[in-house]
Amino acid sequence: MMQDFPVLTLPALLSRSVEKYTDLPAVAFVDETPLTYMEFDKRRLAVVAMLEKMGLQQGDRLALLSANMPNWGIAYFAIVSMGAIVVPILPDFSTSEIENVLTHSEAKAIFISTNLKAKIESLQPDTLAHRILIDDFSLLETTGKNIQFKEDVQSKKEYKVSEEDLAAIIYTSGTTGKSKGVMLTHKNISSNAMASRNVQEIVPGDRFLSVLPLSHTYENTIGFILPLINGASIFYIKRPPTPAVLLPALKSVRPTLMLTVPLIIEKIYRSKVLPAFKKNWLVKTLYATPPIRKKMNEVAGKKLMKTFGGELKFFGIGGAKLDKTVEKFLREAKFPYAIGYGLTETSPLLAGVNPLHTKLQSTGPPLEGVTLKIHNPGKFTGEGEILAKGPNVMKGYYKEPELTREVMTEDGWFKTGDLGILDDTNYLFIRGRSKNVIIGPGGENIFPEDIESVINNFKHVAESLVIQQKGKLVAMVHFNREEIEEKYQTLKEDVSEKYDELRKELQEYVNTRVSKFSKIQEVILQKEEFVKTATKKIKRFLYAKTSSA
């Protein structure tokens, strides 16, 4: 398949698609007429012409801070096709984080959507000369004269872009603190999109519904570039994907493929699926019997498929570890879920598997062209840090040679910072982040994610975080207050008493289901939702030093 793509650059991939899928629908808002591949490309060339008039050129950094929309992709391809470097910024970055990105990357221009304009109004980075409203490509601010976007004016200039040229600098909002600028080349991103085709067949006529931010590498490579190189169409939602917005969109688009993060499907399972199996004593008893449970899950799976539009063939889950109980349900429900694993630094996918070949709690085998190995595997567990090699591994961290050296071995392996094992069929199983591991009193490795998985399956728990405080294992737990109030009408009279009961019950529930050294010694109520990354992982570093006072 790779021979169809002799040059692995983003403009080369787009050019092939425009030629091959000219009049097919490419991108659209839900319930609006899609732009065809030809129209998409025509608009891209018009944006390039405008950028040329601004004096922007190869190697310049151009930021992109926008909600998901068709014009996001047009701006992205306009930037990379002229050899400039795109700097996608996550919409939930704070003003100070955005300022750091613009200053550190020395961005000369920014595309920004109306809903995020306020975030940069007070910012005046030295290098930023042009501000473009991405909604219609009108100019908010520029140092040039007589510049405007005209769809019928197109760039005729030929740009030479090579595989090793830098395509993007992506500032990660990790779970460990300071954002770093990950440098990805054209080959990094293109090779990863190409290799991902082997995980799941995508054909013209396939429909993607995009709900994750395009500025995140996961959605960008797998939910944007991958469908475009295969002639599929992508639909965007104009508002945040709350159930009220998402359900009609699913009904309208009837997606065949979708990408999501564990938190989304876990919430659906706990708020919609599970209550139906606990509504009365008889149903609860029947559900506890494995053969009956499987049949009940299968029926629930058919309903879930209908909710998602009825034509789903691939429901990709990545960005964090999927809860084991939820995954067991998806398997028994015959829901077409698929698992993937990767990092921004690896463009992102390292391992992945399609719905027909999943294994419980595995992210599947390495992607084509990617090699994974376990560094210093434990004698009995086989666990060790996952190291990766492949054409998708980043060039390094922008302006941070020391940080780059820290994550690369001398012989070219990237240290993922994740602990895992490879089984005898080369399927990867993630155990957790090495930085998150808590060392028990007897030197045991305690994986907080495993304990959190148990906590999150306790009634009324919305989310949790396990940390170590003064040598004790502590669970910070955020309960679903609305759910509790609905169940216990009297709660408004005496909230604290009910929560005290829940805390004690929870501690007992968890400690009878985990190993001796993983037992929690204290449960702390977390009133607000935990702060999360773009892929809905809790930013652990913010809570690691929390006092129990």
pLDDT of residue 548: 35
Across 399-508, the runs of DSSP E, i.e. the strands, are 414-422, 428-433, 438-439, 445-446, 461-469, 472-479
489 versus 268: the higher-pLDDT residue is: 268
Whether 362 has a pLDDT exceeding 60, the answer reads yes
| Residue 46 sits in the same domain as residue 154 | yes
The answer to whether residue 32 sits within a structural domain is yes
Shared domain for 418 and 451, answered yes or no, is no
**pTM for the complete prediction?**
0.89
- Indicate whether 270 and 417 sit together in one domain: yes
Evaluate whether residue 241 is within a structural domain. no
Q: Which tens digits make up the pLDDT trace of 154-209?
A: 998 999 999 999 999 999 865 445 679 999 999 999 999 999 999 999 999 999 99
Angle formed at CA 64 by CA 61 and CA 66, multiple of 5 degrees: 175
Last residue of some domain: 188, 213, 244?
188
In this structure, of 93-97, 140-144, 214-218, the range with the lowest mean pLDDT score is 93-97
Q: What is the mean pLDDT of residues 109-133?
A: 96
Same domain for 61 and 10, yes or no, is yes
Pair 528, 411 in one domain: no
CB 383 within 8 A of CB 420: yes
Quick one: pLDDT band at residue 255, thresholds 50, 70, 90? very high
Domain end among 156, 188, 220: 188
In this structure, the answer to whether residues 266 and 136 fall within a common structural domain is no
For the cut 90, the answer to whether the pLDDT of residue 482 exceeds it is no
The predicted model gives 69-82 an average pLDDT of 98
Q: Residue 2: what pLDDT?
A: 57
pLDDT at 489: 64
End-to-end CA distance of the chain: 59
Mean pLDDT (the chain, rounded): 92
Let me know if residue 447 belongs to a domain.
yes
Please report whether residue 86 resides in a domain.
yes
Q: Are residues 179 and 34 in the same domain?
A: yes
Whether 245 maps to a domain, the answer reads: no
**Between 432 and 486, where is the model more confident?**
432
- The verdict on residue 218 lying in a domain is no
Alpha-carbon gap, residue 528 to 248, rounded angstroms: 29
Residue 167 counted as domain residue? yes
- Which is more confident, 481 or 64? 64
**Of how many residues is the chain composed?**
549
Percent of the chain's residues with pLDDT above 90: 78
- Regarding whether 141 and 268 lie in a shared domain, the answer is no
Reply yes or no on whether the pLDDT at 461 is more than 70.
yes
Determine the average pLDDT of the residues in 330-350.
Answer: 97
Stretch 319-336: mean pLDDT: 94
The predicted structure's pLDDT at residue 236: 98
278-301 pLDDT, tens digit each: 888 999 999 999 999 999 999 999
Report whether pLDDT(547) > 50: no
Answer whether residue 36 shows pLDDT above 70.
yes
Return d(Cα 486, Cα 493) in angstroms, integer: 13
Give the strand pairing for 85-88 and 181-185.
unpaired
Which of 65-79, 312-326, 533-547 shows the lowest mean pLDDT across its residues?
A: 533-547
Provide the pLDDT for residue 43.
98
Residues 374, 330, single domain; the answer is yes
User: Pick from 319, 278, 272, 321: which is nearest to 452 by CA?
Assistant: 321
Q: What is the CATH number of the domain that holds 290?
A: 3.40.50.12780
pLDDT at residue 471, rounded to an integer: 83
Residues 249 and 367: their CA atoms lie apart, in Å, by 31
Alpha-carbon distance 548 to 528, whole Å?
Answer: 16
For residues 358 and 283, membership in a common domain is answered with yes
Instruction: With cut-offs at 50, 70 and 90, classify the pLDDT of residue 1.
Output: low
What is the tens place of the pLDDT at every residue in 411-432?
Answer: 999 999 999 999 999 999 999 8
Check residue 546 and give its pLDDT: 46
Output the pLDDT for position 495: 63
One domain, residues 468 and 521: yes
Mean pLDDT lowest among 52-56, 92-96, 544-548: 544-548
> Which residue, of 159, 188, 217, is where some domain finishes?
188
Instruction: Please give the torsion angle defined by the CA atoms of residues 72, 77, 83 and 84, in that order, rounded to the nearest 10 degrees.
Output: 0
Burial of 445 (0-12, 13-18, 19+ CB in 10 A): middle
Given a cut of 50, is residue 55 above it in pLDDT? yes
Domain total in the chain: 3
The CA R_g of the chain, rounded to the nearest whole Å, is: 24
Average pLDDT (137-164) is 94
Residue 205 located in a structural domain: no
- CATH number, domain with residue 442: 3.30.300.30
Work out the percent of the chain whose per-residue pLDDT is above 70: 95
What's the pLDDT tens digit per position in 178-189? 679 999 999 999
- Domain limits at 49? 2-188
Q: Is 290 in the same domain as 419?
A: yes
